[in-house]
Amino acid sequence: MAEILSGKLMSEELTRDQARRVAEMKEQGIHPGLAVVLVGEDPASQIYVRNKGIACETIGLYSRTVKLDKDIPQAELIKAIQALNEDPLIHGILVQLPLPKHLDEEVVLASILPEKDVDGFHIDNAGRLFTGQEGVVACTPKGIMYMLKQAGVPLAGKEAVVIGRSNIVGKPVAMLLLGEHCTVTICHSRTQNLKDHCRRADILVAAIGKPHFVTADMVKPGAAVVDVGINRVDGKVVGDVDYEAVKDIAGYITPVPGGVGKMTISMLMENTLEAACRQAR
Question: Is residue 230 within the footprint of ligand NDP (CB under 6 A)?
Answer: yes
Question: Is residue 258 within the footprint of ligand NDP (CB under 6 A)?
Answer: no
Residue 88, preceding peptide bond in cis (omega within 30° of 0) = no
CB proximity list for 93: less than 8 A, separation 6 or greater: 34, 35, 37, 81, 84, 85, 112, 113, 116, 117, 118
274 in Cβ contact with 135 (< 8 Å): no
CB of 28 to ligand NDP, least distance (A): 31
Q: Which residue in 164, 172, 251, 255 binds ligand NDP (CB under 6 A)? A: 164
Check 116, 117, 119, 158 and give the catalytic one.
Answer: 119
Q: Which stretch, 32-40, 72-80, 175-183, 205-213, contacts ligand NDP (CB under 6 A)? A: 205-213
Residue 197 φ then ψ, to 5°: -60, -50
DSSP, collapsed to helix, strand or coil, labels residue 224 as strand
User: How far apart, in whole angstroms, are the C-alpha atoms of residue 123 and residue 86?
Assistant: 20
Question: Is residue 170 within the footprint of ligand NDP (CB under 6 A)?
Answer: yes
Question: Is residue 166 within the footprint of ligand NDP (CB under 6 A)?
Answer: yes
Q: Which residue in 140, 266, 271, 272 binds ligand NDP (CB under 6 A)? A: 140
**Closer residue to ligand NDP in complex, CB, 187/249:** 187
**Closer residue to ligand NDP in complex, CB, 80/208:** 208
Q: Which stretch, 34-42, 80-88, 152-160, 168-176, contacts ligand NDP (CB under 6 A)? A: 168-176
Identity of residue 183 = T
Q: Which helix (H) or strand (E) holds 253?
A: strand 252-253
CB of 94 to ligand NDP, least distance (A): 13
CA atoms within 13 A on the CB side of 164: 22
Question: Is residue 43 within the footprint of ligand NDP (CB under 6 A)?
Answer: no
* Residues 261, 253, 212, 166, CA torsion sign: positive
User: How far apart, in whole angstroms, are the C-alpha atoms of residue 281 and residue 275?
Assistant: 10
Question: Is residue 37 within the footprint of ligand NDP (CB under 6 A)?
Answer: no
Give how many residues touch ligand NDP by CB under 6 A: 25
* Residues 23, 25, 26, 32, CA torsion sign: negative
Q: Is 236 a catalytic residue?
A: no
CB of 264 to ligand NDP, least distance (A): 3
Buried b (16+ CB within 10 A) or exposed e, 255-277: bbebbbbbbbbbbbbbbbbbbbe
Q: Which residue in 53, 60, 179, 209 binds ligand NDP (CB under 6 A)? A: 209
Question: Is residue 187 within the footprint of ligand NDP (CB under 6 A)?
Answer: yes
Q: Which residue in 10, 129, 163, 225 binds ligand NDP (CB under 6 A)? A: 163
247 in Cβ contact with 241 (< 8 Å): no
CB of 225 to ligand NDP, least distance (A): 14
State the residues that interact with ligand NDP by CB under 6 A.
140, 163-166, 168-170, 187-191, 194, 207-210, 228-231, 260-261, 264
Residues annotated as catalytic are 52, 96, 119
